[in-house]
Amino acid sequence: MSKQKVKVPDSLRDVLLEFSIAYLLEQPGDVIDFAVDFFTKLQTNRAQTGISIGSNQKPTTPDESIISQDEEPVVNRFAAGRRKSVFAEQYDPEEDNDDEDNNKVIFPKTDEQRARLCDSVKNILLFRALDPEQMNEILDAMFEKKVRPDDTIIRQGDDGDNFYVIESGIYNAYVGEDNKHVHTYENRGSFGELALLYNMPRAATIRAVTDGQLWALDRQTFRRILLKSAFRKRKMYETLINSVPMLKALQNYERMNLADALIPKVYQEGEQIIKQGDAADGMYFIEEGTVSIKIHQDGGETEISKLEKGQYFGELALVTHRPRAASAYAQNTVKVAFIDVEAFERLLGPCMDIMKRNIDDYESQLLKIFGSKSNIADIR
């Protein structure tokens, strides 16, 4: 009788990781009430927008309990008999006053090693929101671990010590007392983050099948950089999010998730931010500066509006699924918070009705300039 792997869709892994991080940072009084509210809201958003939870999400960094590659297995969460509460050890970034400079860990690397490491971590979801300085600190702190066939990298039930990124090699994941094989990694992937985030014992055993190369990051550095990064980012964007009327439709935890997804960008005076006719890659919230919105007319460009701090642009193409209907330029130094297409669809469902109403306002502006809907169609 052939063994059958237990698999899980990308959406489950994504939503569980999103929920776990949201809980860890908000730390509500009742985990059950928080979970009910969190998942009820996701279900409501899906009904309103027609977007499935986790849709269009690419496989990303896995944990030993939720393992990610092209086809993801999920470990039975009741298999680990010694497993403690997921939230046994809560970490409060706001109360962490450690001197970061004194706590930095550096493992010297050759240029060739660093290049290999950069290639291995480039698609790790947990690292995506880090700024260049934080990313360099992560790279500095990671160290090489060479493995041989049958080496055990992590063992189910043990305390978590390191987070691992695979550079090369084949690795099997096993769970339960009978060592049930649930997954095989082949030269890519990562594992170990949830045990570090929540002080939970390892939920699976990972064993090398071939010679291989791993990059490891210690628990303290992992928690300090990643959790404090998320906390600081949320604080940074808190004022911006609260200043955008449209975002008042979001619940508190949804605003936090939005803050996690925002990417800071800076444009200098005269620089083009988006170009009319291009495919949409995301939308923008203005933190500082003035943005001029222009459309092509009679061989030149006509300004139709100016946007200031707290306003946003770029959503039209995302809502209508059409190319950009206008260009945007920085009139001075402009700082924006950018959200990409996937995060837009996943997080801004509750705001969709507002954005659709804004489309009507936009078309009214165009009618004043061009005089007819046929002319508006021409610019699209």
Beta bridge partners of 340: 282
Check the annotation: does 193 bind a ligand.
yes
- Give me the helix-helix angle, 252-261 and 10-26, nearest 10°: 110
Q: Which residue has the tokens 């979801």?
A: 125
Following DSSP, what letter does each residue of 72-113 receive, concatenated? B-B--TTS-TT---TTSS---GGG----HHHH-------HHH
- Token output for 369: 């300039």
Check the annotation: does 324 bind a ligand.
yes
CA dihedral 152, 158, 160, 165 (to 10 degrees): 20
CA atoms within 13 A on the CB side of 143: 10
Give residues with Cβ within 8 angstroms of 81, minimum separation 6. Answer: 157, 177
Q: Which residue has the tokens 């698999």?
A: 7
- Give me the helix-helix angle, 219-243 and 10-26, nearest 10°: 80
Check the annotation: does 315 bind a ligand.
yes
Give residues with Cβ within 8 angstroms of 363, minimum separation 6. Answer: 373, 376
Check the annotation: does 303 bind a ligand.
no
- Return phi, psi of residue 354, to 5°: -65, -45
Burial of 68 (0-12, 13-18, 19+ CB in 10 A): buried
How far apart CA 303 and CA 295 sit, in angstroms, is: 7
Q: How far is CA 264 from the centre of its chain?
A: 13
- Residues marked as binding for 3',5'-cyclic AMP? 193, 202, 315, 324
- Residues marked as binding? 193, 202, 315, 324
